Structure 1
Amino acid sequence: MRSDETSRGIVSNGYSASPTHHAPRKGVVSVNGHSPHLNGSTHPLKNGTSRRKGPRSPLYRGHNREELTRILIQGLKDMGYEDSADTLSSESGYELESSEVATFRAAILSGKWSQAERILSGYYQDDGGGGSAEQGIVLAEHANKDQMLFWIRKQKFLELLVRRDLLSALKVLREELTPLHRDTYQLHSLSGLLMCTQAELQTQLHWPEDPEDARQRLLEDLTSSIAPSVMIRDHRLAELLDHVKRAQINGCLYHNTSEPPSLYSDHECSPQAFPSSTYMILEQHSGEVYCVAFSPDGTKLATAGEDKVCIIYDSKRFQVLHKLHKHNAAITHIAWSPDSKRIVTAAAEPNAYVWDASLGKLLMTIAHQTGEHRPVTSAAWTPDSEKLITGCHDRDAKMCLWDLKSQDPKTPLHTWKGEFRVSDLAVTPDGHRLICNDMDETLIIYDLDSAREEFRLKLSSKITCITASHDSRTIIVNIAEGEVHMFDLEQRRLIRKFKAENQGGTIIRNCFGGAAENFVLSGSKDGRIYIWHKENSAVIAKLQEHGKGSKNEQCVTSVSWNPMNSGMFASGGDDRKVRIWTNTLPDESSTEFDPRIRHPDLGRLSAIRTTASNL
């Protein structure tokens, strides 16, 4: 029966957890020519040869034959084709892993920590009492064996903690982890976990329900420190194919589909499928538009601005559903709950308001009750849609966490105080991180579970907007000097820059766009919408249709991509208008065509064409 790659009987690289399954076949060549003491098996033939058809070239169309064959063997096992993998291994003479490496893998996944350490250090004897490798498993050039031992013993410590075997865990901490002298700060953090309850441990560690998942993560870390010629990284064939598809997507400027490209042929999307035409112009606002935001389910659009009103439209015909009146100042921020049922609005005043988006009913007033009475500047929801965080210019309560289900929802669950004033914030969709910025040039990243600061990033200019990606790995920020910067939260560094003409100190709200977030969008003070390819930073389009406002400026202040319609986004500007951009034009004969909403010239050419000369 064909096995499934998620089956408990199959572990990393498609192997059975039994070490005896991995004993090298008689007559199979060693891994990259290593001797038996270096994790390979012996064979009189050289690598790249066949025992059946005579010598073959060590290269296949310029690629290393041994590397390719071993990766194919791993891939076949991943897909459940065990017999085919065995046949390929037998015919080619290449074995995926030595028995020692396979036993190491099985020891990690089964929690046999002492055995894993002996193999790593070179003191392992097989079941028959035979010899052992003098140097242990061959490591990558950058690897540190003590660090790998620390990872193994840390896993052992954490599993004992989760099982509430505190005495054994304390012994591991004192007698096994501390003597390695690796990371004093982490040792202190681990010792602090001894005082945590079971629930607190699960929250702080993000511990999976199945301990095998945690061990699999440990194995991935260890594999990165082992020589790839000895232990191929898990699912390497799939990883290489992902690289191929990603390269095709990156090379396609207008790729806007969640469907991955086929491996059968090269991929290219037509510019005509890109949303670059104004589909509708919404003119309900009497003042400058500062915010536009589609709901996460894509069914509604919210807009707000200088006229102190938040308007909610349906996103099919863009008819007005509700007008939310409560603020006494211009609305500068709106945020949808992840379940699309509620929306929070903030203005240049100390109160924020939570609304029922379906009924247009006020649910809750949020007040930062401190002496400064500074305006609430921003808000973001947690993934459960039951809690939200508000940012403020008040140093005594720069951010507050609110629980809408609490018996006292008007009292914050937690308050971050001091040091600086928050002008914008975002919560990653996975709920693990809170990102905010001060009034100057610094990003601060918190662990949301513990409410503790993780790290800071200093920028070269004032920050005006923060947006997190759906995968929670990256954020984009607008800065005053006229750029959008992308940061990797895991690597804690700037990875890309997108250059616009002008942003100045104006708050301009950016967004990711496209079916797979392949694009980055931002408005600008020059009246243009800039759209970049996320991976290569190329400018795809500069769309300029917003006009000047009452102050003789034509800033595009906010953009939002419909998360459920890859061919639609919205923009708002100083001209008091909201524009809906699509890759189609409205059909006057359609029952959905509403003559009360302004439509542009139906014969207008794509803005992609008209702006091509400016790219």
Structure 2
Amino acid sequence: MRPDDRGTHIASNGFAGISNGSTTKKVTLSSSINGHSPSQPTSNGLGPSQSNGSVKSPSPVRSPTYHGHNREEVTRILIQGLYDMGYSDAATSLSRESHYELESPSVAAFRQAIMDGQWTDAEAILLGSYHGADGKTSAMSNFVIDGPAGLVLAEGADKSQMLFWMREQKFLEYLDQRDLSKALAVLRQELTPLNHDIHHLHALTSLLMCPAEDWRAQARRNGSITDSRKRLLQDLTKSISPSVMIPEHRLAHLLNQVKQSQINNCLYHNTASPPSLYADHMCDRDNFPLRTMLELDCHTDEVWYLEFSHDGTKLATASKDKTVIIYETETFTILHRFQGHEERVTYVTWSPDDSKLISCCMDNKARVWDISSGACLVTVDHQTPVSGASWAPDGLSFVTSALEKTSSICQWSLRSSDFRTNLHTRGGFRAQDCAITPDGQRLVVIDSEKHLHVFNFHTFEKEYSQTFLAKLTCVSVTKDSQNMLVNLSNGEIQLLEVETGVLIRTFEGQEQGTYIIRSCFGGAAENFVLSGSEDSMIYVWHKENGILIEKLKGHASCVNAIAWNPGDPGMFASAGDDRRVRIWSNSVPPSEAVPSSDRRPISSNSYTRMSAIRSTFMGGSNL
């Protein structure tokens, strides 16, 4: 069925006063006001004086173009924009002075028929439609017409599909009234003859047998009848030529494109505020965190991971030296040093409220620490090293990933009623890393055999899996839960859609082949992708265009992980095998920055890369 979960929902679920199309209504196109009578509010934010659409008589004193743009298109988009912003008098005045109207009479009548549930009239207008401006129309005896009959459809529009959507809406409205006999008649006599989608028809048929209280959930139908008709109209609009029915909020959409284009062209755009429309936008490179303000050398062995708290006031680092260090980020004084681990610490992650921290260790345990007291609150056990963890958005449960096939993914509860209970378990693969999307809808897992798995977080049912050409080493998800970033052992970093797994963009240049290298999203609006590298460099790409904008000398040896400060867009941190954490900032004058020559090289003999995280995590023996 056509999903009805888009758009703004209206609180009322009532049906009163809305026709279901059982009677034929004479629609006078000349009296239609954008599909509404003068006393009705409009569905597109449009005022009551519009008859919409064709050119009456363009002014002969004005050029047909405006700075190279079609004058009619610009004017009609401005008229729509004025109505959107609530300036109906100005929109009416512009329409009157320019002699351009927003939509054609046929479009206005079609809009009104859909919103009033006059399905016979709506179908008549649709059936009289044609592709292209030079097509012929057919007369409709039940309309009094003062303009062209029918609609002008967009190229490639499927009239049968549009009819199916309209008849499906009629079917669902009868179902909402619990008039099952009429709903069945529409299904048999109107929907089935279209031969549109047998599987979809079966799904609609199953709704007839649903209890009244369950069918809406199964049909994914929310809101009122008026609300669902608006969404139907939005879908139908995509098949109607924009020359006669401008897409909703077109001016706002164009302005968003302008802003996004400026952001994409600004390689160092690092602010959550969108650029102004008054002037062209370009950020200064000097405002980007390119200089090291501080080196932290508090660990005695390789630093494998680090992460800022969500408020940016703390930084947690995990090391091969079996410790986790918590710094406050104003002076980078140590707040805690967690030393209860029996083996090397591979990963840390903050709870949503920053009150707790999970540490993952090669002693087959994950520990939950209380930040205020420094006490270990919970310890959970796996049979193999714990490779990663992720908090549920409510902070009351978390997921751990481990390199075992039987219980590679486990969800643990922190609620007092089922404290430390394993709520869900998934196996069948050795989990390399995991991430719960910030909206709490999905769990993303990568395994040690080149696979990515996406699960429904509520049910732990798998939504899809996909295979890559190289092993995956880490996964992270954007704050809006739309995209995810995965590192591959062949040196690629891929940006994917979370919902579908479709590849959006590939970032290349960094070196990775033997070790675990972790990347992250960076910037105030997550405009960047950053990654460490085996060549001791830090790589920074622009997320939207894939351009490598910086290659920074990071550490004396391999750079394992990068973390951006959510509370300070001008700061990020890096962790390396040189046992150090470097804090990068845009507020340090170049003369005061830590130069590369001041870093003391550490002999490779003093630490080796033969640690278990390298051999086990990157393809040790199967368990």
Task: State TM-score, norm by structure 1.
Answer: 0.79
Partner in structure 2 of residue 323 of structure 1: 337
Q: SS at the partner of 1:557?
A: strand
CA distance in 2, matches of 1:208, 1:359: 46
Matches within 5 A, 1:215-294: 216-294=230-308
CA distance in 1, matches of 2:221, 2:452: 28
**Structure 1: segments with no counterpart, 5+ residues:** 31-42, 548-553, 587-599, 608-615
- Counterpart code for 1:602: E
- Higher mean C-alpha deviation, range 386-395 or range 183-192: 183-192
Q: Deviations over 1:410-464 (max 9, x none)?
A: 333333333x322112222222222222212232223334533333333222111
Q: SS at the partner of 1:413?
A: strand
- Counterpart code for 1:244: V
- How big is the shift at 1:477? 1.1
Q: Does 1:382 align with 2:392?
A: yes
**Contact 2:510 2:532 (8 Å CA) reproduced:** no
CA distance in 2, matches of 1:69, 1:210: 34
**Contact 2:348 2:357 (8 Å CA) reproduced:** yes
Q: Deviations over 1:240-261 (max 9, x none)?
A: 1111111111111111112222
- Counterpart code for 1:461: A
Q: Which of the residues 592, 599, 611 maps onto 1:602?
A: 592
Q: Which of the residues 552, 564, 582 maps onto 1:543?
A: 552
Q: Which of the residues 500, 508, 514 maps onto 2:523?
A: 514
- Counterpart code for 1:29: S
Q: 1:490 to 1:417 in 2, by over 3 A?
A: closer
Q: Does 1:557 align with 2:560?
A: yes
Q: Does 1:578 align with 2:606?
A: no
- Counterpart code for 1:345: S
- Higher mean C-alpha deviation, range 486-495 or range 246-255: 486-495
Partner in structure 2 of residue 15 of structure 1: 46
- Higher mean C-alpha deviation, range 448-457 or range 312-321: 448-457
- Higher mean C-alpha deviation, range 290-299 or range 334-343: 334-343
**Contact 1:399 1:417 (8 Å CA) reproduced:** yes
- How big is the shift at 1:223? 2.2
Q: 1:288 to 1:83 in 2, by over 3 A?
A: same
Q: Which of the residues 285, 292, 313 maps onto 2:327?
A: 313
- Higher mean C-alpha deviation, range 239-248 or range 220-229: 220-229
- Counterpart code for 2:51: P
**Contact 1:508 1:522 (8 Å CA) reproduced:** yes
Q: Does 1:410 align with 2:420?
A: yes
Q: Deviations over 1:268-303 (max 9, x none)?
A: 111111101111212222221111111122222111
CA distance in 2, matches of 1:567, 1:478: 24
Matches within 5 A, 1:351-370: 351-368=365-382
- How big is the shift at 1:321? 1.8
**Structure 2: segments with no counterpart, 5+ residues:** 1-6, 11-39, 130-137, 598-623
Partner in structure 1 of residue 51 of structure 2: 24
CA distance in 2, matches of 1:169, 1:332: 63
- How big is the shift at 1:90? 1.5
- How big is the shift at 1:267? 1.3
Q: Deviations over 1:126-176 (max 9, x none)?
A: 998536999853332233233334445556677788x69595898489546
Partner in structure 1 of residue 70 of structure 2: 64
C-alpha RMSD over aligned residues: 3.7
Q: 1:129 to 1:536 in 2, by over 3 A?
A: closer
**Contact 2:106 2:150 (8 Å CA) reproduced:** no
Partner in structure 1 of residue 498 of structure 2: 489
Q: Deviations over 1:478-518 (max 9, x none)?
A: 11111211113356421211112311142211111111111
Partner in structure 2 of residue 89 of structure 1: 95
Task: State TM-score, norm by structure 2.
Answer: 0.78
- Counterpart code for 1:258: A
**Contact 2:54 2:104 (8 Å CA) reproduced:** no
- How big is the shift at 1:574? 0.7
Partner in structure 2 of residue 567 of structure 1: 570
Q: 1:518 to 1:191 in 2, by over 3 A?
A: farther
Matched residue count? 552
**Contact 2:305 2:561 (8 Å CA) reproduced:** yes
- Counterpart code for 2:74: L
Matches within 5 A, 1:112-127: 116-117=122-123, 119-122=125-128
**Contact 2:293 2:593 (8 Å CA) reproduced:** no
**Contact 2:171 2:187 (8 Å CA) reproduced:** no
CA distance in 2, matches of 1:399, 1:526: 32
- How big is the shift at 1:365? 2.6
Q: 1:582 to 1:62 in 2, by over 3 A?
A: same
Partner in structure 2 of residue 336 of structure 1: 350
**Contact 1:22 1:97 (8 Å CA) reproduced:** no
Q: Percent identity?
A: 47
- Counterpart code for 1:560: A
